[in-house]
């Protein structure tokens, strides 16, 4: 495996990369379904859409698009229920704790860049001690535009006090790879342990596709 110069920081997407939040996201959708007399679909149905936010999740739950009249009321109801339960069954993926420890031992900072709203992101981080050592936390509404725009990446670099162009980004969605490229980051890594199917991940043309978090450490020269 090719090795790369040690970056000053490595940034990560949140849902599907650092944490597995599919159960809580799916539960919020199923709560809305049961309120409307529909049977729950279960976590497995929502997992492939868990990185797509309310847009993707509500499409699975109700077949709606953002342009549909019923979408916005559903989105608001979804967010209200999700915020109250967003850490009930959300956990760091296996290997994330060891990865963050390894980065700290090497003097490499780390941060979060997600398209989840900064308000929800802060609530989740506050409930997960493992995430509280982040040098920067950037949400989907923190910058002028969300990923795949470069703006969140550039803001994260400023908050962490690093040159974002020297940093790596790890994510489980095509937008993550595109955002890293748009910000001219040194490395764009696909999290193969996330929610996207393997065939889809391989088409993103990431610099590396890894199947477990600790493998990031093996890329360091």
Catalytic amino acids?
13
Tell me how far apart the alpha carbons of residues 95 and 86 are, in angstroms, rounded to a whole number: 21
Tell me how far apart the alpha carbons of residues 182 and 176 are, in angstroms, rounded to a whole number: 10
Tell me how far apart the alpha carbons of residues 112 and 37 are, in angstroms, rounded to a whole number: 37
User: In this structure, are residues 151 and 144 in contact, taking their beta carbons and an 8 Å threshold?
Assistant: yes
Tokens of 145: 């535009």
Q: How far is CA 182 from CA 96, 105, 114, 177, in A?
A: 26, 30, 15, 9
Tokens 């981080």 map to which residue?
125
Cα torsion 93, 98, 103, 107: sign = positive
Q: What length is written for the chain? A: 221
């Amino acid at each position: 495996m090719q090795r790369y110069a040690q970056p000053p920081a490595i940034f990560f997407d949140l849902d599907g990369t650092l944490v597995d939040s599919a159960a809580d996201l799916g539960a919020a959708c199923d709560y809305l379904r049961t309120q409307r007399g529909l049977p729950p679909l279960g976590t497995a149905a929502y997992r492939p859409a868990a990185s797509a936010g309310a847009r993707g999740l509500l499409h699975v739950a109700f077949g709606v698009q953002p342009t549909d009249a019923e979408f916005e009321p559903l989105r608001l109801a979804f967010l209200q229920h999700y915020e109250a339960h967003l850490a009930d069954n959300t956990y760091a993926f296996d290997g994330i704790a060891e990865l963050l420890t390894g980065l700290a031992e090497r003097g490499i900072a780390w941060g979060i860049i997600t398209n989840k709203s900064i308000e929800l992101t802060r609530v989740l981080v506050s409930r997960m001690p493992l995430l509280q050592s982040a040098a920067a936390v950037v949400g989907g509404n923190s910058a002028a535009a969300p990923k795949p725009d470069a703006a969140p990446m550039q803001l994260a670099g400023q908050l962490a006090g690093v040159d974002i162009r020297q940093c790596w980004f790890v994510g489980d969605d095509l937008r993550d790879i595109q955002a890293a490229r748009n910000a001219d980051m040194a490395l764009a890594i696909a999290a193969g342990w996330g929610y996207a199917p393997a065939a889809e991940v391989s088409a993103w043309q990431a610099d590396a596709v890894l199947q477990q978090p600790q493998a990031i450490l093996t890329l360091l020269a």
